[in-house]
Structures are given as structure tokens and as C-alpha cells.
């Protein structure tokens, strides 16, 4: 019981801070807009359609994944600031396990990302005329939550093992961009050169993008079952490593 309350306390703190830091909310709104309406609309004028969908629509699931990926990974930087500004001490000396501290933080990060997801669904629904049904929305939401949990965990692992925010930005860029570019978020993975195909196969994000595209647009490269299984195993691994990192902190 007290462990659950501990997780709730850590999460509650994160959620309150998120709502009160207006900059975070604003940047959460702007960056996906730029991708959809800046990048998507621009490239869309030169690319007719992909798999029967306009390019802007084709990359929409990928942009959702990307937004979750970026927000979730970067969330790990707050653990470094918390430590620098000493907010974390209080939590670390509390009589709750490090697994609970990790879980609370992880759920906090996932909350950030899911707020953005809700926002993106509204844009998709009203501006892009994405063929959403209530079931699709629920499925997409759950899939993105799974992706977010995996990515927040990676961010927290990196954050827990580093001491400077600068170092974090550097490391996270090496994780984030390859994961994004080699995921098929911007292009279909079916007709790639062998080396690129190999890279996309080992990138867990590929399965996330594929699942999302399957759920929203009905275009699947792998089966939804395989996508989900890969992501679940990956997420479980990341949570495990995350808890170990927090124990050593």
C-alpha cells in the first residue's frame, strides 16, 4: 500500500510541475504542428501519395510516434536537473523502494507524452480528416502509451547514469535520431536497400510505427501481434534496466 502511495506521490509531483511549467506545454504543442504542416505539407507537394494515402496522412502515425519518442526520451533530462537542484533527495531517502521511485517518474513522463497524444488526435481528427473511430483511438492510445513507457525508461536510464544536462543532450541525440530516421516514420519500409532494411529490423521503433500505421491507416508490414510482442519485450527490458539504474543512483 505504501509503495503504491509512493508511486502516486512521485507521479503527482511530476504532473503538477508539468501543468505549471507553461513552456513545456507550449513546446509540446508546437513541434508536432511543424512536422505535420511544415514538413508533411511541403514534401507532400512533391510526393503524390504513399500506399494510397496523401503523404501528410501517411506520415501522421509516424509523427505521432515521433512526438512520443522525443518527449519521452527528453524527459530523462529532468532527473538530472532534479538532482542538480536537489529535489530528488527527499524522494531517495523516503522509505519506498527504488522500483517505486522509478515507476512514479516513468508514469510522470508517460503522462507528459500522452497529453501530447491527445492533442495530436484532435489535430488529426479535425484538420487531417484521419479516419478515426473510437476503437482506433483507444488502440492507438494504448500502443503509444506502450512506446512512451519504453522511451521514458531509456531516457531515465541515461539520465540516472549521467550528471550533466549537456552530456544528456549529446547522448540522447545519438539515440533519438537514428531511432526516428530508421523507423520508417517518413518512408515505407517495404522497398529499402538491404543494409537500411537490416537497420530498420533491429530498431524497436520500426515496430511502433508499423503498429500505428496498421491501427490508423490499415497498412501493415509486420503483423500487429509481432509489433506488440516486440515492443512489450523491449519495454520490459528497459524498465528492468531502469530500475537497476535507480538502485545504483
Cβ-based nearer residue to another protein, 95 or 134: 95
Establish if 222 lies at the interface with another protein (CB under 8 A).
no
- Chain centroid to Cα 172, Å, comes to 13
Cβ contacts of residue 62 below 8 Å, gap of 6+?
A: 183, 184, 185, 186, 209, 212, 213
Establish if 96 lies at the interface with another protein (CB under 8 A).
yes
Write down the least CB distance from residue 221 to another protein, Å.
44
Q: Do 180 and 203 touch, CB atoms closer than 8 A?
A: no
Write down the least CB distance from residue 144 to another protein, Å.
27
Q: State the binding string over 68-87 for another protein (x if CB under 8 A, else -).
A: ---------------x-xxx
Q: How far apart are CA 37 and CA 116, in angstroms?
A: 16
As a three-state string, the secondary structure of 199-223 is: HHHHCHHHHHHHHHHHHHHCCCCCC
Write down the least CB distance from residue 215 to another protein, Å.
36
Helix (H, G, I), strand (E, B) or coil at 16: helix
23, 48, 90, 166: which one binds another protein (CB under 8 A):
90
Establish if 94 lies at the interface with another protein (CB under 8 A).
yes
CA angle, residues 76, 181, 104, in degrees to nearest 5: 20
15, 17, 33, 192: which one binds another protein (CB under 8 A):
17
Q: Which residues bind another protein (CB under 8 A)?
A: 1-2, 5-6, 8-10, 12-13, 16-17, 20-21, 83, 85-97, 163
Amino acid at each position: 500500500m505504501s509503495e503504491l502511495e509512493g508511486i502516486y506521490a512521485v507521479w503527482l509531483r511530476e504532473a503538477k510541475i508539468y501543468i505549471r511549467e507553461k513552456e513545456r506545454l507550449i513546446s509540446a504543442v508546437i513541434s508536432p504542428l511543424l512536422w505535420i504542416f511544415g514538413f508533411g505539407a511541403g514534401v507532400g507537394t512533391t510526393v503524390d501519395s504513399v500506399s494510397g494515402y496523401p503523404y501528410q496522412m501517411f506520415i501522421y502515425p509516424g509523427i505521432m510516434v515521433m512526438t512520443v519518442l522525443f518527449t519521452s526520451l527528453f524527459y530523462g533530462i529532468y532527473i538530472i536537473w532534479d538532482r542538480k537542484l536537489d529535489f530528488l533527495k527527499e524522494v531517495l531517502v523516503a522509505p519506498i523502494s527504488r522500483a517505486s521511485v522509478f515507476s512514479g517518474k516513468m508514469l510522470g513522463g508517460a503522462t507528459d507524452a500522452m497529453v501530447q497524444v491527445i492533442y495530436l488526435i484532435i489535430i488529426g481528427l479535425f484538420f487531417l480528416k484521419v479516419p478515426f473511430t473510437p476503437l482506433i483511438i483507444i488502440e492507438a492510445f494504448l500502443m503509444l502509451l506502450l512506446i512512451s513507457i519504453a522511451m521514458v525508461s531509456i531516457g531515465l536510464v541515461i539520465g540516472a547514469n549521467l550528471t550533466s544536462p549537456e552530456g544528456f543532450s549529446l547522448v540522447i541525440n545519438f539515440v533519438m535520431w537514428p531511432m526516428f530516421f530508421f523507423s520508417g516514420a517518413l518512408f515505407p519500409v517495404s522497398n529499402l536497400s538491404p543494409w537500411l532494411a537490416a537497420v530498420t529490423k533491429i530498431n524497436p521503433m520500426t515496430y511502433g510505427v508499423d503498429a500505428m500505421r496498421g491501427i490508423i491507416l490499415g497498412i501493415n508490414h509486420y503483423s500487429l501481434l509481432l509489433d506488440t510482442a516486440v515492443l512489450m519485450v523491449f519495454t520490459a527490458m528497459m524498465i528492468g534496466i531502469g530500475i537497476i539504474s535507480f538502485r545504483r543512483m
